[in-house]
Structure 1
Amino acid sequence: MLTRENRSMDQMIEHTYLSIRGLKLHIAHVGKGETATLLFVHGFPEVWYSWRHQMVAAAAAGFRAIAPDFPGYGLSEPPADLAQASWQGLMNDLLAIMDSLSISKVFLVAKDFGVKPAYDLALCHPDRVCGVVSLGVPPLVESLSFSGLPEGFYIYRWREPGRAEADFGRFDTRRIMRTIYILFSKSEIPVAKQGQEIMDLADESTPMPQWFTDEDLSAYANLYEKSGFMTAIQIPYRTKAAKAVCAKPRFEMPMFVIMGQKDYILKFPALKEYMSSEKLKEIAPDYEITYIPEGSHFVQEQFPDLVNQLMIGFVNKHV
């Protein structure tokens, strides 16, 4: 089953579905470059659409670009039992997609929670990964601690069974996506006060980020209207943090982090400490980072041309 997305004359992203580990997963793809394949891995509140600018740029540079929707996200079928969803399962989905498309090696491009399965794939199957570009999260072999953050911290709130469901349930999908993009594009960590919910931190009078268009909002709202938020709430917020799935905690390939200087994640106490530690250098000896001034958590949508330039430069350097 193959359709086409026609958002402009110069953008032709194709869409297909693959049977992956018993589920029907949606795959967006463009380009037929033989020199390299870029596998894009989304986080929350994102889907394949989050990578639209990077996919087209990769294809124009002569590469093949592939962006799946994880199970239960976007146009992909949800897992039958959400309680059984796991980080290792997401890594296995990526590997199965590569096998299904007969792709031997890829450059991984990941952000938000998507870095976890991407990093696991790089650690467990280094022979399948040429390099990793990550947005906002440096190379990790285990989950970071959230200690020191207040009770109203959004992850603490959304981990509670039923709380996010009740919070989101007060609004339509468009309002939910609008609020999330407003909150998570700021430089401060979303934290609710006592008696307040996360969705209360912005209202209809709060302006959207200038780079986030009404067309973008409609695209996300339409996709989440189809999928709902059940999987998005479970993964990553309620999926148990697993121990490293591979015994060898060292990245053997080049790693490149693109970080927005105003990404709220930089306010995580454990992350700031980790990024200046010797441990990071030990697990990722070929690691570099670039900061984008004014860049937010959604830096690839906010400054697509700059991110594209950095990403393609990295791939060309290591292809």
Structure 2
Amino acid sequence: MMEKIQHSEVKVKGLKLHVAEIGTGSKAVLFLHGFPEIWYTWRHQMIAVANAGYRAIAFDFRGYGLSQQPAEPEKETMYDLVHEIVGLLDALNITKAFLVAKDFGAIVAYRTAAVHPERFCAVITLGIPPGPYAIQNYLLPKGFYVTRWQEPGRAEADFGRFPVKSVIRNIYTLFSKSEVPIAADDQEIMDLFNSSTPLPPWFSEEDLATYASLYQNSGFRYALQVPYRSLNVKIGSRDVKITNPALLIMGEKDYVFKFPGTEDYIRSGAVKNVAPYLEITYIPEGSHFVHEQLPDKVNQLIIEFIDKQSI
């Protein structure tokens, strides 16, 4: 089915975006990737929702993969991606879509749905709950990967020691574990990777080569700015309210679950103060990349949820 996915360039906000599509259904499902992902991270889900009668669309965010870089990446924030998502829907003549997102793409999805609730039938996210708590670096050791990557030049020097393919391999392998990636004072994040560790069983050499070729094209400049170095930039109100139907799929082996306060925030139901119509499903063995690790399970959850929405 992969060969049936169509690729095109769509101009949005003055930039050419790389867009992948499959399916001809009248209802569209738009997928948002995280880091170190790209449109390809949703390959299993795209095919499944297309087979279920939907139009599946995934794209590389600006500055990622085959999409065009903005002129000044260091001035960008996640709010630029909010405008990009709405602009892409407009360019594709889609008035309303389902939104599926993970990692920082989930943060963008929540903000987009909060600002433009009328454009979305429902929001489905993996691994990141809605809310202002986001990432509280100060509660974690100073070697926390987000803190390290927010420091100008540090990740560039760390990543620059290796080929792009090795950087992707290292991050995918490290971030598949249930421990939060934290470096010692005399280490960089890439040093946490043990070269004898194999790729996760659900991630093939072919998958790695695909990711590597796309990041070879874009590099990491934009990715380090958005999300990491713009995480603390105040963009609009911090009080994001999600009024759309929503589903959070949470892998219980996802290292994000161990961020201080996160598990309690989700399990206690406090998250529903932000998203009153939120449903939560836990996958006990699910890692940070649960949609690639257990695609059949995630596909089933997504399709069942979007099927029951009346639009």
Q: TM-score, normalised by structure 2?
A: 0.96
**1:204-223 to 2 correspondences below 5 Å:** 204-223=195-214
In structure 2, list runs of 5 or more residues that go unmatched.
Answer: none
Counterpart of 2:14?
A: 22
1:161-204 deviation per Cα after TM superposition (whole angstroms, max 9, x unaligned): 11101100110011111100110000000111111111011132
**1:216-235 to 2 correspondences below 5 Å:** 216-235=207-226
Mark the CA change 1:244 to 1:284 in structure 2 (over 3 Å): closer, same or farther: farther
> In structure 2, what is the Cα distance between the partners aligned to 1:186 and 1:261?
11
Counterpart of 2:57?
A: 66
Q: CA deviation at 1:272?
A: 2.4
Q: Answer yes or no: is the 8 Å Cα contact 1:143–1:241 preserved in 2.
A: no
What SS is found at the alignment partner of 1:70? Answer: coil
> In structure 2, what is the Cα distance between the partners aligned to 1:209 and 1:74?
22
Aligned AA (2:302): M
What SS is found at the alignment partner of 1:238? Answer: helix
> In structure 2, what is the Cα distance between the partners aligned to 1:318 and 1:37?
13
> In structure 1, what is the Cα distance between the partners aligned to 2:248 and 2:113?
15
> In structure 1, what is the Cα distance between the partners aligned to 2:133 and 2:173?
29
1:302 aligns with 2:290: no
**1:1-319 to 2 correspondences below 5 Å:** 7=2, 11-34=3-26, 36-141=27-132, 143-243=134-234, 245=236, 249-277=240-268, 279-319=270-310
Q: Which 10-residue stretch deviates more, 183-192 or 83-92?
A: 83-92
Q: CA deviation at 1:281?
A: 1.8
What SS is found at the alignment partner of 1:140? Answer: coil
Q: Answer yes or no: is the 8 Å Cα contact 2:249–2:283 preserved in 1.
A: yes
> In structure 2, what is the Cα distance between the partners aligned to 1:248 and 1:128?
19
In structure 1, list runs of 5 or more residues that go unmatched.
Answer: 1-5
Q: CA deviation at 1:246?
A: 5.3
Aligned AA (1:67): A
> In structure 2, what is the Cα distance between the partners aligned to 1:295 and 1:197?
26
Aligned AA (1:96): G
Q: CA deviation at 1:44?
A: 0.3
Aligned AA (1:237): Y
Number of equivalent positions = 310
Aligned AA (1:13): I
Identity of aligned residues (%): 52
> In structure 2, what is the Cα distance between the partners aligned to 1:128 and 1:33?
17
Q: Answer yes or no: is the 8 Å Cα contact 1:98–1:104 preserved in 2.
A: yes
Q: CA deviation at 1:37?
A: 0.7
Q: CA deviation at 1:19?
A: 1.1
> In structure 2, what is the Cα distance between the partners aligned to 1:139 and 1:165?
30
Q: Answer yes or no: is the 8 Å Cα contact 2:74–2:222 preserved in 1.
A: no
Q: Which 10-residue stretch deviates more, 194-203 or 136-145?
A: 136-145
> In structure 1, what is the Cα distance between the partners aligned to 2:245 and 2:123?
7
Mark the CA change 1:240 to 1:249 in structure 2 (over 3 Å): closer, same or farther: closer
1:292-311 deviation per Cα after TM superposition (whole angstroms, max 9, x unaligned): 12110000000011100000
Q: Which 10-residue stretch deviates more, 200-209 or 270-279?
A: 270-279
